[in-house]
């Protein structure tokens, strides 16, 4: 009843993957605190738990995803099917929400749920998009598809962006794209070019040069309102069960002595890579907290493929868990470095706690984020070859050497900049005000 009395109603459309669910629920929480009522439409797969968020209305959309679509590593194929299967039920659902609330101020969708933009256009409602990765990724989708190398460089590259080595990310995107990739990128670009606002979980100072380029290329205003997790710190949205025992283990470690290792919610490694990572960590002689998700290593269930003698050799110096409360871990005084796959959320979370990184990107934007971390912000080191000697040396460079201490200093500076963004006159606060104003204006 209370929900219906509010005049400003928003519909949020979620992409059902951890790295996307989290920022969408954080955004929902922030906008709710600004006086908007919220309905969240989400595919059946990886449904959030409504009882964790009693302030929102949740509606599940049939996604008709098959077991093979869910288990394949074909991310673009997954996005393509998800959008195709969800488009019609999404529209029906939006019609029902419209009928019951009388008005929707805006439809805010994850950019990878791009089918929502066409539906918003059809219903003559403002469609706005949440990009859960960096604003820089927008450069590739907006100018990428038709351009040859020379045009691409002249349009995107600038001396300031040279350090980012955008070419590397671009070659990755253009290397043998599947039909699904080409279609998904075109649909993504279409959505970005026709949306009425782009919301990014980033901070202006992090990607200033690229942001000014993106702003020239896309018609919609861009609102950098990150770090979302600092604006909505209590949002609970883990698809996996957090193991709190790692916090008591961290409590017993010396300050800045622990290397935290996590490859996010999707990346996987094979048995040999597990063995090399394990011995690299063991031989570094440093304490480590390692997240091994069930199913992360080939076809194994959990850590049964760890090499013989490894557990004995590391003893209490190691804490291996299936999932951590990561933000709490990164904020812990015992954590001195983060060996990460460099998903955007993990990268932003690490910056916000001033933790230097060892970067092992696996796919997609992780490569671009690594470039930012190592070449632009200079708060991390890339790990190219997952080989034990290399792992050991690189961990020591980040954790022990002068080089690592310099990285930590720069990371601490970025942490301070992030705090400034959140202050009253900071860029995030200003963007958030502008965003809520735009939504309010479009809803009258
Ligand atoms: C995916 C893609 O891999 C990434 O490149 C893209 O930027 C977003 O979508 P994911 O693998 O989930 O992301 O990584 P990331 O973006 O870093 O998000 C992982 C989230 O899970 C973070 O918010 C992190 O705090 C959380 N997490 C991770 C935990 O809470 N506990 C863990 O043990 C590991």
**Ligand 1 neighbour 327 (Cβ under 6 A):** yes
Per-residue pLDDT for 400 more than 60? yes
* Predicted local distance difference test score (pLDDT) of residue 68: 81
How much is the average pLDDT of 216-233? 96
* Predicted local distance difference test score (pLDDT) of residue 2: 44
The residue whose C-alpha atom lies closest to atom 18 belonging to ligand 1 is 19
Choosing from 16, 19, 290 the residue with most ligand 1 atoms within 8 A of its CB, the one to mutate for a pocket test is 19
The residue whose C-alpha atom lies closest to atom 2 belonging to ligand 1 is 343
**Ligand 1 neighbour 313 (Cβ under 6 A):** no
In the reported structure, the alpha carbon of residue 2 is separated from the centroid of ligand 1 by a whole-number distance in angstroms of: 34
Per-residue pLDDT for 382 more than 90? yes
The residue whose C-alpha atom lies closest to atom 5 belonging to ligand 1 is 343
Q: Are 242 and 22 in contact (CB under 8 A)?
A: no
For tokens 């929502």, what's the residue? 116
Structural tokens at position 88: 């019609």
2-236+423-442: CATH topology: Rossmann fold (3.40.50)
Choosing from 15, 18, 360 the residue with most ligand 1 atoms within 8 A of its CB, the one to mutate for a pocket test is 18
Beta strands 37-43 and 57-61, pairing class: parallel
Question: Structure pTM?
Answer: 0.96
In the reported structure, the alpha carbon of residue 20 is separated from the centroid of ligand 1 by a whole-number distance in angstroms of: 8
| H or E, element range at 130 | strand 127-131
Give the range among 143-147, 259-263, 305-309 with minimum mean pLDDT.
143-147
**pLDDT class of 6 with cuts at 50, 70, 90:** very low
Q: What is the pLDDT of residues 237-286, one digit of tens each?
A: 899 999 999 999 999 999 999 999 999 999 999 999 999 999 999 999 99
In the reported structure, the alpha carbon of residue 428 is separated from the centroid of ligand 1 by a whole-number distance in angstroms of: 22
What are the boundaries of each domain within the chain?
A: 2-236+423-442, 245-400
Q: ∠297-300-306 over CA atoms, to 5°?
A: 70
In the reported structure, the alpha carbon of residue 265 is separated from the centroid of ligand 1 by a whole-number distance in angstroms of: 5
In the reported structure, the alpha carbon of residue 266 is separated from the centroid of ligand 1 by a whole-number distance in angstroms of: 8
Instruction: Out of 1.10.10.10, 3.40.630.40, 3.40.50.2000, 3.40.50.2300, select the CATH number for domain 245-400.
Output: 3.40.50.2000
How much is the average pLDDT of 54-70? 92
Choosing from 202, 245, 264, 350 the residue with most ligand 1 atoms within 8 A of its CB, the one to mutate for a pocket test is 264
3-state DSSP of 189-239: HHHHHHCCEEEECCCHHHHHHHHHHHHHHCCCCEEECCCHHHHCCCCCCCC
Q: What is the pLDDT of residues 81-114, one digit of tens each?
A: 999 999 999 999 999 999 999 999 999 999 999 9
**pLDDT class of 149 with cuts at 50, 70, 90:** low
Runs of H (alpha helix) within 285-423: 310-314, 326-331, 344-352, 365-371, 388-399, 402-422
Question: Are both 2-236+423-442 and 245-400 of the same fold?
Answer: yes
**Ligand 1 neighbour 291 (Cβ under 6 A):** yes
Burial of 344 (C-beta count, 10 Å sphere; 0-12/13-18/19+): buried
For the chain, the average pLDDT equals 93
């Amino acid at each position: 009843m209370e929900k219906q009395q509010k005049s400003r109603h928003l519909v949020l459309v979620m992409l059902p993957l951890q790295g996307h669910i989290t920022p969408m629920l954080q955004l929902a929480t922030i906008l709710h605190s600004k006086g908007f009522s919220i309905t969240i439409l989400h595919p059946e797969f990886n449904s959030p738990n409504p009882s964790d968020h009693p302030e929102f209305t949740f509606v599940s959309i049939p996604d008709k995803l098959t077991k093979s679509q869910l288990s394949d590593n074909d991310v673009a194929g997954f996005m393509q099917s998800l959008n195709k299967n969800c488009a019609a039920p999404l529209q029906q659902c939006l019609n029902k929400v419209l009928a019951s609330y009388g008005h929707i101020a805006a439809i805010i969708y994850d950019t990878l749920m791009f089918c929502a933009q066409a539906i918003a256009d059809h219903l003559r409602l403002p469609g706005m998009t949440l990009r859960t990765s960096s604003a820089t990724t927008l450069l590739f989708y907006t100018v990428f598809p038709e351009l040859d190398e020379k045009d691409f460089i002249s349009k995107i590259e600038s001396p300031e962006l040279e350090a980012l080595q955008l070419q590397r990310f671009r070659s990755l995107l253009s290397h043998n794209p599947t039909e699904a990739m080409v279609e998904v990128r075109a649909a993504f670009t279409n959505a970005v070019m026709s949306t009425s606002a782009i919301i990014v979980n980033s901070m202006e100072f992090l990607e200033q040069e690229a942001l000014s380029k993106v702003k020239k290329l896309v018609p919609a205003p861009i609102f950098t309102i990150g770090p979302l997790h600092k604006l909505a710190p209590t949002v609970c949205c883990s698809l996996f069960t957090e193991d709190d025992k790692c916090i008591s283990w961290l409590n017993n470690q010396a300050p800045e002595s622990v290397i935290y290792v996590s490859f996010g919610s999707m990346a996987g490694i094979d048995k040999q890579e597990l063995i090399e990572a394990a011995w690299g960590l063991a031989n570094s002689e440093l304490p480590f907290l390692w997240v091994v998700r069930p199913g992360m290593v080939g076809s194994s269930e959990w850590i049964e493929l760890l090499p013989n003698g490894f557990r004995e050799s590391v003893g209490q110096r190691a804490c291996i868990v299936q999932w951590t409360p990561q933000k709490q871990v990164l904020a812990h005084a015992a954590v001195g470095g983060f060996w990460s796959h460099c998903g955007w959320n993990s990268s932003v979370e690490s910056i916000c706690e001033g933790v230097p990184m060892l970067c092992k990107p696996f796919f997609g934007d992780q490569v671009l984020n690594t470039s930012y971390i190592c070449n632009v912000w200079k708060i991390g080191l890339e790990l190219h070859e997952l080989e034990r000697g290399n792992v050991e040396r690189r961990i020591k460079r980040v954790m022990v050497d002068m080089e690592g201490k310099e990285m930590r200093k720069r990371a601490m500076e970025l942490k301070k900049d992030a705090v400034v963004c959140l202050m009253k006159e900071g860029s995030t606060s200003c963007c958030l005000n502008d965003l809520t104003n735009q939504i309010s204006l479009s809803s009258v």
